[in-house]
Amino acid sequence: MKILFVHPHFPGPFAALATMLTTEATHTLVALVAAQAELAATWQGVTLVACPPPRASAAGLHPWLQEAERQTLRGEAACHAALQLQAQGFTPDVIVAHPGWGDSLFLQEIWPQARLGLYAELFYQPDSVATGFDPEFAALGPLAAAPLRLKNLPHLLHWQDAQAAISPTQWQADTFAPALRERITVIRDGIDTAAIAPHPDISLTLNGALTLTRTQEVVTFASRTLEPCRGFHVFMRSLPLLLRLRPQAHIMIAGGTEGGYGPRPDSGQSWRDVLVQELQPQLEAADWARVHFVGQVPHASLIGLLQLSSVHVYLSYPFVLGRSLLEAMSVGCAIVGSDTAPVREVLQHGHNGWLVHFFDAPALAHTVAQLLADVPTRQHLGAQARQWVQAHADLHQVTLPQQRQWLQALADAVLPAATAMPAATPLPPPLTVLAQLRQSLAEVRALLAEEDQ
C-alpha cells in the first residue's frame, strides 16, 4: 500500500501507526511536512517531503481571513510538493491527514482516487477555548465566536471527500455535526504502558543542590504551554494556600511560555510572568523557594517528573485532551483533574482520580493537600488510573490494532461514483483551482472592506 501522511509537525499523532507500518515491507510511506529548516530525508523509514508555506499572511488582511489565508498558503505549498511526487511516479492509495492547518486541502485535486482519512481533533464551538467558557478571558460581543467558523473551514472542505476519520476522545468526536460524526471512529492516543510505568526509585536533582525522591511530597503540573486554557492561572492561584497547608511540599511546573492554544496577555508578557507577578507577593520567600519552574523538558524528563509525582494536577477547558494526562495515569499518579469534558471521560471521581471545579482554586488546594496526607488513597487512585490506561489506551494491545483496522477499512472503502471520475475526463489543473480560490478570497475581502466602511 502507498500511504501519504500529512501533518506539518509529522509524525504528530501518527507516530505509532507510521512506525508499525515501516515494519511491513509491503508499504511505501511518504509524509508532507511544513518544515522551514533543512529536513532529514527520512523518519524511521518514512520519506519526508518539505512543503513550507511560501510567505506569511498578507499585511492589512481582514483579521477573520488571516487564518483562512494561512491555510490556503499551506495547501498551495503542499500542492506543489504533491505535483513533484506525482511527477516522480508516486500515487498514494491512502492519504491520512490532520486537516487543521490546511496542508491537505487540495491534494485530492491531484490524486482524486486516493482514499482520504482525517484526524478529527476538534470542531470549534462557540464555548470553546477561544470564547465563552472562562469569564475572566471571555471575548465580548455577539461576533466573538465568528472567527471560529472560518477556523473550521478545513474540516468542512475536507469532509465531502473523506471516507473516514479518527478522534482521540468521545467528546472531541461529538463536537462535529452528526453528518460528520457518523464517519468518526474514536481511537484513543496510545500509551506504551510497559515503558511508561511506575518507577519507585526515581530521583531528581535540581540545580545540583536539591534532590527529590518519592519519599517527599511532590506536586506536578505539566502543559506544553503554561496558559489559561490548561488551567495554569487556577493552579497558580491555588499555591499560596496549598504551600501553607503542606509546608514540606515541592511544586514542579513543566511547560513553555511561547505559543499555545489561547491568546497571550494584553501586556505582551507570558502567562507565567503575569501569574508570578500576581502571586509572588502573597508568598513568603521560603514558600516561593519550593515552587520550581523546569520549562519545556524532553519527553523522557517529563515521564521522570510524573514518576516522581505524589499528586499530579491536570486542568483543562473543554478542549482537546492532553496526552500527558494519559501518561500520568500510566505511571500510576494520583491525579486531581478538572471536572470538565473530556477530562471526566477518562477520570472517574473517586475511582481513578479526583475531580474539582475548574475555577475553584481553594478547593483545588484543599483537595491536593488532602491527597498528600493520605498515602493509601493516593496509592489506590494511582493503581486504578494505570489499570484504566492499560485496558483502554495501551499502545500495543488496544490502540495500534484499532488504528491498523481503521486504516485497512479506509483502504478498502469504495469511492462514490461522483468522486471516481472517468479516466477520459480531464481534471482541472491544480494551479487553476488555486487561482479560483484566490479570486474568491479576494472577493470576500472586498465585501468585508465595504462593510467596514
What domains can be seen in the chain, in order of their start residue?
2-190+397-452 (3.40.50.2000), 203-393 (3.40.50.2000)
State the cell numbers at 226.
503554561
Name the least confident of 25-39, 89-103, 249-263.
25-39
- pLDDT at residue number 424: 41
Q: Are 154 and 99 in contact (CB under 8 A)?
A: yes
User: Does position 95 have pLDDT exceeding 70, yes or no?
Assistant: yes
Look over the chain and give the mean of its residue pLDDT values, rounded to a whole number. Answer: 89
* Mean pLDDT of all residues in 129-133: 65
Instruction: Give the residue with greater pLDDT, 198 vs 431.
Output: 198
State the cell numbers at 152.
473550521
Amino acid at 81: A
Which residue in the block uniquely carries the three cell numbers 492516543? 189
Confidence of residue 199 (pLDDT cuts 50, 70, 90): very high
Task: Tell me the helix, strand and coil percentages in the chain, rounded to 5.
Answer: 40, 15, 40
Instruction: Give the residue with greater pLDDT, 261 vs 339.
Output: 339
Confidence of residue 254 (pLDDT cuts 50, 70, 90): very high
Instruction: Give the residue with greater pLDDT, 137 vs 48.
Output: 48
* Residues in contact with 365: Cβ distance below 8 Å, sequence separation at least 6, in sequence order: 238, 239, 241, 242, 245
Sheet holding 334-338, edge to edge: 291-295, 250-256, 218-225, 311-314, 334-338, 354-356
What is the four-CA torsion angle of 255, 261, 264, 270, rounded to 10 degrees?
0
- pLDDT at residue number 198: 97
* Residues in contact with 414: Cβ distance below 8 Å, sequence separation at least 6, in sequence order: none
Confidence of residue 159 (pLDDT cuts 50, 70, 90): confident
Rounded CA-CA distance 336/310 in Å is 11
Amino acid at 436: Q
* Mean pLDDT of all residues in 322-326: 96
For the stretch 341-355, pLDDT in tens is: 999 999 999 999 999
Share of the chain above pLDDT 70, in %: 88
Residue 223 parent element (H or E):
strand 218-225
Would you tell me the crossing angle of helices 375-392 and 323-330 to the nearest 10 degrees?
120
Neighbours of 350 (CB within 10 A): 12
User: Does position 425 have pLDDT exceeding 80, yes or no?
Assistant: no
168, 164, 163: which is closest to 186 by C-alpha? 168
For the stretch 75-94, pLDDT in tens is: 999 999 999 999 999 999 99
Confidence of residue 209 (pLDDT cuts 50, 70, 90): confident
Instruction: Give the residue with greater pLDDT, 253 vs 25.
Output: 253
Q: Are 33 and 82 in contact (CB under 8 A)?
A: no
- pLDDT at residue number 436: 57
Q: Are 342 and 168 in contact (CB under 8 A)?
A: no
Q: Are 372 and 311 in contact (CB under 8 A)?
A: yes
User: Does position 356 have pLDDT exceeding 50, yes or no?
Assistant: yes
User: Does position 418 have pLDDT exceeding 80, yes or no?
Assistant: no
Q: Are 5 and 18 in contact (CB under 8 A)?
A: yes
* Residues in contact with 65: Cβ distance below 8 Å, sequence separation at least 6, in sequence order: 150, 441, 444, 445, 448
* Mean pLDDT of all residues in 105-121: 95
For the stretch 264-297, pLDDT in tens is: 888 889 999 999 999 999 999 999 999 999 999 9
User: Does position 239 have pLDDT exceeding 50, yes or no?
Assistant: yes
Q: Are 393 and 188 in contact (CB under 8 A)?
A: yes
| Cβ neighbourhood burial of 453 (10 Å; 0-12, 13-18, 19+) | exposed
Rg (CA), the chain: 24
- pLDDT at residue number 423: 47
- pLDDT at residue number 430: 47
Name the least confident of 157-166, 199-208, 432-441.
432-441
Cα 180–Cα 183–Cα 189 angle in degrees, nearest 5: 105
Confidence of residue 417 (pLDDT cuts 50, 70, 90): low
Confidence of residue 207 (pLDDT cuts 50, 70, 90): confident
For the stretch 24-61, pLDDT in tens is: 989 999 999 987 667 778 999 999 999 988 888 788 88
368, 4, 65: which is closest to 218 by C-alpha? 368
- pLDDT at residue number 438: 58
